[in-house]
Amino acid sequence: MYELAENLASHCVEHEFHPENIGLDKRNGLKYYLGFNFKIDRSMRKEDTLHKYRRIIEYFFAEGGPLIQGTPTKSQANECF
């Protein structure tokens, strides 16, 4: 997930992460399904965006986070940040 966050930030992709988009691939590796719900914003600060993405990912996987307790309502995690 951190690698995805770095790639999105480095390419100026603005996206709201949703825990329901996290799944497993055929080899049981972690996958995130981005879909088409994103935009390119060349004016964004890449470092700030990467920091935001990392905080959201840490929230998802934290003890008591949405992936441990169950999936929250859509965009609940993004509202925290």
Dihedrals phi, psi of 39, to nearest 5 degrees: -140, 155
Instruction: Identify which of 18, 11, 9 has the alpha carbon closest to the alpha carbon of residue 56.
Output: 18
Beta bridge partners of 7: none
Rg (Cα) of the chain, in Å, rounded?
13
Q: How many domains does the chain have?
A: 1
pTM of the model: 0.73
Reported as a pLDDT band with limits 50, 70 and 90, residue 81 is very low
Reported as a pLDDT band with limits 50, 70 and 90, residue 70 is low
pLDDT per residue as tens digits for the range 18-60:
888 888 889 988 888 988 889 999 999 999 999 999 999 999 8
Show the domain range for 47.
Answer: 2-79
Across the range 48-73, mean pLDDT stands at 81
